[in-house]
Amino acid sequence: MADGGTTPGTGDVVRTWRTEWDATAAQVGDRVRARWLCEEASGAFGDEFRKVLDEEPTQRMMAHLDAMLQRYAAGEPLQYVLGHWSFRRLDLMVDRRVLIPRPETELLAGLAVDTMHSVVVAESRSVTCADLGTGSGAIGLSLALELPRGRAEVWLTDASTDALDVARANAAGLGVSGNGVRFAKGDWWGALPAHLRGSLDLVVSNPPYVALDDPDVEPSVRDWEPAAAVWSGPEGLEAYREIVGGTGDWLRPGGWLMVEIGSGQAGTVSALLRDSGLVDVEVARDLVGRDRIVTGRRPS
């Protein structure tokens, strides 16, 4: 029987996904997160999950749910516990090798896609883009998936072999491997092949931007996410200096640089872009009104 009923003559409680959803919600304090965990354990997502609400979980499913709940109770971020997370049109595999994709970065990816789409349409040509420090591949793969097929070459780079492994797996899962998507290991510009110098239409990056002594970093970020993707020197600006410093060599005339920034960094990062010779420098805000993205263009 559903809803925690009993089997006649046995007195045993019948566990269904409906009762497990309720129990999980009570444990984690949130029905939405509880549903995500139950969906992951059951292998049924969206409307399919509602169809199995009155079915009894298998022992293997319950073991999976229990293991995830233990990890979540220990403080591990939900995205790592689930093993994947949505980002624009993507469902990305994520684990402790890469940063968790966030809504703020979706805005950066959207701006990059819209800008390059305009170039492709207005100038009737293909574009070459680079996602420096790609992590899970969220931004670069959004470009590859959302720009007109065959009209974009996108380079995904990272200094971490582990991160590139995740990005490659995500590209394979999306079916875009080898379809204009390239991977390269190395620090910032050093990862790119020399023939790209002066030819990039877009460089986009969500680099590490947290100062080493920043007291406001959430414990889950400090304890679980990869340090190399979070911290950037005593001011949180080292990565920006590296990236902005190479724009004159790597961007084509009229090419764009777009970077995500942290709290209070808009003025300093904007100045870095202007000092490097970029024009049309602008700051875009996120959904809660915080300065979040700085963009600039190499003069034509």
Q: What is the pLDDT of residues 18-63, one digit of tens each?
A: 999 999 999 999 999 999 999 999 999 999 999 999 999 999 999 9
* Total-model pTM: 0.90
**How many Å is the Cα radius of gyration of the chain?**
22
- The backbone torsions φ and ψ at residue 291, rounded to the nearest 5 degrees and listed phi first, read -60, 125
What is the sign of the dihedral through the CA atoms of 220, 226, 227 and 230? negative
Asked if residues 108 and 204 have their Cβ atoms less than 8 Å apart, the reply is yes
**Closest of 89, 88, 92, 90 to residue 80, by C-alpha:** 92
Does position 95 have pLDDT exceeding 90, yes or no? Answer: yes
- Write down the pLDDT at residue 234: 87
**Closest of 139, 129, 143 to residue 102, by C-alpha:** 139
Q: Across the chain, what does the average pLDDT equal?
A: 93
Asked if residues 88 and 109 have their Cβ atoms less than 8 Å apart, the reply is yes
Q: Note the pLDDT tens digit of each residue in 103-126.
A: 999 999 999 999 999 999 999 999
Contact residues for 46 (Cβ-Cβ < 8 A; gap 6+): 39
Tokens 């007109």, residue located: 148
* Rounded-to-5 percentages of helix, strand, coil across the chain: 45, 20, 35
Q: Note the pLDDT tens digit of each residue in 211-236.
A: 888 888 888 888 899 999 998 888 88
Amino acid identity, position 237: L
Q: Note the pLDDT tens digit of each residue in 188-203.
A: 999 999 999 999 999 9
Contact residues for 264 (Cβ-Cβ < 8 A; gap 6+): none
- Write down the pLDDT at residue 182: 96
- Write down the pLDDT at residue 196: 98
**Closest of 115, 160, 102 to residue 134, by C-alpha:** 160
Amino acid identity, position 21: W
